[in-house]
Amino acid sequence: MSGSSRGTKSEAVSTAEMEKSVLRLEVNYRGIFQKSLAYRITNDLVYAAHSEGKTAFSNGRYSDDPQRNGVPCANFAFFSDALSEDDLEAVASASMDIDRANVVVVLDDTMVKGLEPWGHYGIRPINEKVIPGGTLLIVSRRKPEELIRHLEKKTFDYNIAILPGDQSFAGLWYYRDDATDVRTIAAVARVAPEIVGIHSVEEYVKKKYNDAAKVKSLQEAYDSVVVREVKQSEGIAWPHSKPKLPSWDSFDEGIVVKSVERGFTLGPRGQNRNPNFKRGTSKTQRPVIRFDTCIKCTLCWYDCPDECFDPTADGLYDVNYEYCTGCGRCAQVCPVDDCIVMVDDLNFEDNSSPWEMYKRDAEGYVKWLEEKKGKVRFMPSPVTGKGVRHTEIKAAVPFKQDGGN
């Protein structure tokens, strides 16, 4: 057989028929903190679906490894009630990433602001892979509307489902079992019973854990899921474009990349930064700063491992949230009480300069900020999986009229 005739014929194959029975699930999570959790979820779903006689397998997105704390990662699971293992593997998983999913699970609701797992990817919407009629399932304490306002507007209708719960962060060696794993599986059974039925999930969890509390958690989760349709009119025009990958002959040979161009001036965004990889989508919380009580000690800027504080002419330090990963080191090192505080990133609309806002209207800024902060402060225990201490403050530190000057 000659090469050419063989080529033209094989290129014409269609996978549409095989595609019919394939169901894809994506689990978006925060690197390392939620790695064990994400693997539990996809592994358990595969076991449970297998118990129904389905073909199923799972994998993690290879380019996420080695994982970095906070960086968005993804696991995938694939299911079919018709295909063989080989066929399912071939149809569903021929690439390192997937391009569509029936169910997209999100284990940290701040990821609705977008994902940038790697350099040169651009910030991609969390609902990018949801198919028509598919479901975006988010573990969150928020109402659907609070999340939809961050999502990309699609050209079709789909569903958003909320599994009420907090971001479950454990670490690498220490795993904190707060039942988020079985609760998420139950929620998948609720929004996509074609993947796995709740009965199979229950049986599987009973057998695996022999723990009545776990079973109870999953039943509660199943009942507590809120599902709502998202119309194609809802959401926002996605503000970030997707970088185009160049052909082999249109970029420099010798694996050479131009350095970030040298450039620094005082003030917001005065430091040149890597334009093609912003780390802002790594954060769950953002540091907010009371410029009025700042003593200009420099330590937030000094301790920041992401170089996102911009020194200003008045000796304060603006923060560039596009690059802030939300680690909290600045809040930890700040010697002034309640001056830098970590706050849920979903409380904020954009990444504009807080210093500029402060300079425009200092008192207004502080008032706005204290509203965003609320009265509850979060202090994570040193060992990641050992939980978060919540304390309530009585009142905000009063505005200092001549502060920060």
Piece of the chain touching another protein by CB under 8 A; list 16-24, 38-46, 57-65, 129-137? 57-65
Closest distance of CB 307 from another protein, Å: 5
The amino acid occupying position 99 is D
Which member of 22, 32, 138, 230 binds another protein (CB under 8 A)? Answer: 32
DSSP string of 325-393? Answer: ----HHHHH--STTTEEEEEGGG-S----HHHHHHH-HHHHHHHHHHHH-SEEEEE-SSGGG-EEEEE-
Which member of 20, 90, 118, 133 binds another protein (CB under 8 A)? Answer: 118
Closest distance of CB 99 from another protein, Å: 14
Q: Report the distance separating Cα 137 and Cα 26, nearest Å.
A: 10
Which member of 29, 54, 70, 188 binds another protein (CB under 8 A)? Answer: 70
Helix or strand run (H / E) with residue 311: strand 309-311
Q: Report 248-277 residues binding another protein (CB under 8 A).
A: 248-249, 251-262, 264, 266, 271-277
Q: Which residue has the tokens 């599986």?
A: 185
Q: Report the distance separating Cα 189 and Cα 101, nearest Å.
A: 15
Q: Report 11-30 residues binding another protein (CB under 8 A).
A: none
DSSP string of 143-180? Answer: -HHHHHTTSBPPSS-EEEEEEE-------SS-----SH
Closest distance of CB 283 from another protein, Å: 8
Nearer Cβ to another protein (170/218): 170
Nearer Cβ to another protein (301/358): 301
Piece of the chain touching another protein by CB under 8 A; list 68-76, 138-146, 156-164, 359-367? 68-76
Q: Report the distance separating Cα 88 and Cα 57, nearest Å.
A: 9
**Cβ neighbours, 10 Å, residue 295:** 13
Q: Report 150-209 residues binding another protein (CB under 8 A).
A: 171-174
Q: Report 205-234 residues binding another protein (CB under 8 A).
A: none
93 class by beta-carbon count within 10 Å (0-12 exposed, 13-18 middle, 19+ buried) = middle
**Binding of another protein at residue 3 (CB under 8 A)?**
no
Q: Report 297-356 residues binding another protein (CB under 8 A).
A: 297-299, 302-303, 305-308, 311, 320, 323, 325-329, 331-338, 341-342
> How many positions of this chain bind another protein (CB under 8 A)?
84
Q: Report the distance separating Cα 40 and Cα 233, nearest Å.
A: 35
3-state secondary structure of 117: coil
Which member of 9, 120, 372, 375 binds another protein (CB under 8 A)? Answer: 120
Nearer Cβ to another protein (23/319): 319
Nearer Cβ to another protein (114/134): 114
Q: Report 353-382 residues binding another protein (CB under 8 A).
A: 377, 379-382
Closest distance of CB 185 from another protein, Å: 25
Closest distance of CB 230 from another protein, Å: 30
**Binding of another protein at residue 279 (CB under 8 A)?**
yes
Closest distance of CB 148 from another protein, Å: 27
Helix or strand run (H / E) with residue 208: helix 198-209
Report the DSSP pairing between strands 285-289 and 340-344.
antiparallel
